[in-house]
């Protein structure tokens, strides 16, 4: 209810702001009409206010008046108004790009605020693009802003990039990264791509110079294994880590817009780590792959009909979404949270096992009474050729009591249940091994609303 109201207030404010801008433009035009003579006394390339606002970057040799004019002419499309997009957009707005388009279909949640510095507690529930554009406008009202309240898809990305000078990939999903890169190759737009997860980040400038620099597929021809593709929602991230990467994206964007591409071409991948050792490392990239799916001369993508003929299935290419494991177990191998709650009450003294397969940090935040923590990452480690894996809780294999698995939303629990059966722990079907359907999320929604859930 309150989230909806907040969203509506921000939308109304955005509308009001847009009307004010239209009014200002209309008044300006009327004033110009009245005087019938443009201000011919002004003989300098930038507007008077620009010399003031951008003074400290104008005096840099790497920017200067020419650089400022290039920024002013630029149309930048920034995809993802989250942890990377917020600092990147704020700095690009501050630097005075001419037109900034921000694309994101999500709304602001409280759990975003520790890292997504363009949003505020008061704007929780609003569209991220509206919230971020408002923050940018407060910084620099001279920039033209477009807020697109959609996620990028194969259908909208072509038109979004049609008049772009530069694109920034500030998203957090593997499939979307390939889509954005492919679209930039097709549209002839350079791309500043960054990623951050947990305590690490990476950054590269792709398709730059346009038509010569490597694309995302040249650098990462194969997607990461599906199991390792965690978005920040599940994977966790430190605010300053993603902030560093977003700020660096803005820096690279300003360099691309104001300076000629380096010659000879030296594409690099910058790696950042906050987990010890050197913070920054630079890896030289090989350049374009002659057999690249997207950017090589005989690329499948280029030969397709662009939007209709040539787009691959990105989700499938990246190993499917998290929904892929939805049907690992049969219905009779699963119990609802209500059924498990009843069983928990009736099974006294307790005879069954409940294994919580979330990572330790999640488990420590709160779990169902009596659950034993077996982190999913440990169950992925290869088991020794003979005997049972060491991560099994002691006594589990020897026992005959039923085993219930629970996880965050009910995917990993199925995988581990299947694994325990493969290991023979179901004693040829005489011992129940199954999961609690819907995981801790369902438990919170339907049994115990006080359960902390992230």
Residues in 36-95 at the binding interface with Zn ion, rule: CB under 5 A: none
Residues in 102-131 at the binding interface with Zn ion, rule: CB under 5 A: none
Residue span binding Zn ion (CB under 5 A) among the ranges 199-207, 233-241, 242-250, 289-297 = 289-297
Distances, alpha carbon 44 to alpha carbons 40, 64, 142, in Å: 10, 13, 18
Query: CB of residue 221 vs Zn ion: minimum separation in angstroms?
Result: 8
Between 187 and 197, whose beta carbon lies closer to Zn ion?
Answer: 187
Q: Say if residue 170 carries a ligand binding annotation.
A: no
Residue 318 among the catalytic residues:
no
Residue 136 among the catalytic residues:
no
Q: What is the enclosing helix (H) or strand (E) of 76?
A: strand 75-79
Among 14, 166, 295, 337, binds Zn ion (CB under 5 A): 295
| Cis bond before residue 232 (omega within 30° of 0) | no
Q: Say if residue 215 carries a ligand binding annotation.
A: yes
Residues in 213-232 at the binding interface with Zn ion, rule: CB under 5 A: 215, 217-218
Is residue 245 within 8 A of residue 85, CB to CB? The reply is: no
Query: CB of residue 88 vs Zn ion: minimum separation in angstroms?
Result: 23
N residues, the chain: 454
Q: Say if residue 351 carries a ligand binding annotation.
A: no
CA-atom Rg of the chain in angstroms: 27
Q: Count CB neighbours of 212 within 10 A.
A: 13
Task: Indicate the burial class of 307 (C-beta count within 10 angstroms; 0-12, 13-18, 19 or more).
Answer: middle
What is the distance between the alpha carbons of residues 436 and 442, in angstroms, rounded to a whole number?
Answer: 9
Sign of CA pseudo-dihedral 171, 173, 176, 182: positive
Query: CB of residue 285 vs Zn ion: minimum separation in angstroms?
Result: 11
Q: Say if residue 113 carries a ligand binding annotation.
A: yes
Active-site residue among 86, 136, 170, 232?
232
Total residues at interface with Zn ion (CB under 5 A): 6
What is the distance between the alpha carbons of residues 46 and 54, in angstroms, rounded to a whole number?
Answer: 10
Between 170 and 218, whose beta carbon lies closer to Zn ion?
Answer: 218
Distances, alpha carbon 405 to alpha carbons 63, 226, 291, 344, in Å: 59, 21, 45, 13
Between 53 and 217, whose beta carbon lies closer to Zn ion?
Answer: 217
Q: Say if residue 313 carries a ligand binding annotation.
A: no
292 binds Zn ion (CB under 5 A): yes
Residues in 197-216 at the binding interface with Zn ion, rule: CB under 5 A: 215
Q: Say if residue 136 carries a ligand binding annotation.
A: no
Between 214 and 246, whose beta carbon lies closer to Zn ion?
Answer: 214
Residues of this chain that interact with Zn ion (CB under 5 A) are: 215, 217-218, 292, 294-295
Residue set of the binding site: 83, 104, 111-115, 128, 172-173, 215, 218, 292, 295
């Amino acid at each position: 209810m309150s989230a909806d109201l907040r969203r509506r207030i921000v939308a109304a404010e955005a509308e009001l702001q847009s009307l004010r801008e239209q009014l200002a433009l209309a008044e300006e035009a009327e004033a110009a009409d009245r005087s019938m003579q443009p201000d011919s006394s002004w003989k300098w390339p930038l507007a008077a206010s620009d010399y003031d606002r951008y003074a400290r970057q104008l005096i840099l040799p790497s920017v200067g008046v020419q650089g400022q004019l290039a920024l002013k002419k630029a149309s930048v499309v920034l995809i993802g108004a989250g942890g990377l997009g917020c600092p990147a957009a704020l700095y690009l707005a501050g630097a005075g790009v001419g037109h900034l388009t921000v694309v994101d279909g999500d709304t602001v949640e409280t759990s975003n605020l520790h890292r997504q510095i363009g949003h505020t507690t008061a704007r929780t529930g609003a569209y991220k693009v509206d919230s971020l554009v408002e923050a940018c406008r407060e910084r620099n009202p001279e920039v033209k802003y477009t807020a697109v309240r959609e996620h990028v898809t194969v259908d909208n990305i072509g038109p979004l990039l049609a008049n772009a000078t530069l694109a920034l990939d500030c998203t957090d999903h593997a499939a979307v990264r390939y889509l954005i890169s492919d679209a930039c190759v097709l549209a002839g737009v350079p791309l500043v791509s960054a990623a951050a997860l947990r305590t690490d980040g990476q950054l590269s400038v792709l398709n730059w110079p346009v038509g010569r620099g490597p694309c995302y597929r040249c650098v990462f021809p194969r997607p990461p294994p599906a199991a390792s593709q965690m978005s920040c929602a599940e994977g966790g991230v430190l605010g300053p880590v993603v902030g560093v990467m977003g700020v660096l994206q803005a820096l690279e964007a300003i360099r691309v817009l104001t300076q000629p591409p380096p010659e000879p071409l030296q594409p690099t991948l910058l790696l950042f780590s906050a987990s010890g050792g050197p913070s920054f490392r630079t890896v030289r990239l090989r350049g374009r792959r002659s057999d690249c799916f997207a950017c090589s001369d005989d690329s499948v993508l280029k030969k397709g009909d662009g939007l209709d003929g040539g787009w691959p299935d990105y989700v499938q290419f990246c190993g499917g979404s998290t929904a892929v494991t939805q049907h690992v177990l049969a219905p009779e191998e699963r119990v609802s949270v209500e059924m498990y709650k009843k069983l928990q009450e009736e099974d006294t003294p307790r005879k069954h096992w409940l294994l919580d397969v979330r990572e330790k940090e999640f488990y420590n935040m709160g779990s169902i009474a009596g659950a034993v923590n077996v982190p999913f990452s440990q169950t992925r480690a290869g088991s020794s050729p003979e005997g049972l894996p060491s991560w099994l809780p002691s006594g589990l294999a020897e026992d005959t009591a039923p085993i219930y698995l629970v996880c965050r939303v009910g995917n990993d629990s199925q995988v581990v249940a299947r694994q325990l059966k493969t290991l023979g722990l179901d004693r040829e079907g005489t011992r129940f091994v199954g999961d609690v359907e819907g995981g801790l999320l369902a438990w919170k929604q339907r049994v115990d609303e006080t359960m902390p859930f992230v």
